[in-house]
């Protein structure tokens, strides 16, 4: 069964390769969705796939790449939309 999660990560997570790290882990786990920087310094990820794989993804996000310092990871579970074909890094336009 496919589910979705919106994951917001706080700490030193911008300018440290965090989005690329998240993308690599999501692709390895077979997840689809996106990761993006927020203008307030946090990172938001949207992942869809099996719940067990998303939970493993969240554990990877809690660690982060070597230069990051993750302080908080918030996960909100939701229904899958099925609209994503892969896992992308989004650059354009900061969202609130």
Catalytic residues: 19, 37
CA dist 29 and 57 (Å) reads 7
Q: What is the spatial distance between Cα 70 and Cα 92, in angstroms, rounded to a whole number?
A: 23
Closest CA to 51 of 67, 29, 18, 69: 29
């Amino acid at each position: 069964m496919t589910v979705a999660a919106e994951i917001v990560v706080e700490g030193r997570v911008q300018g440290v390769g965090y989005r690329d790290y998240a993308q690599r882990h999501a692709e390895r786990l077979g997840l689809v969705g996106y990761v993006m920087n927020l203008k307030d310094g946090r990172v938001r990820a949207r992942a869809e796939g099996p719940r067990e794989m998303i939970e493993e993804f969240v554990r990877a996000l809690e660690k982060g790449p070597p230069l990051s310092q993750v302080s908080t990871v918030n996960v909100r579970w939701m229904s899958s939309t099925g609209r994503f074909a892969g896992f992308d890094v989004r650059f354009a336009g900061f969202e609130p």
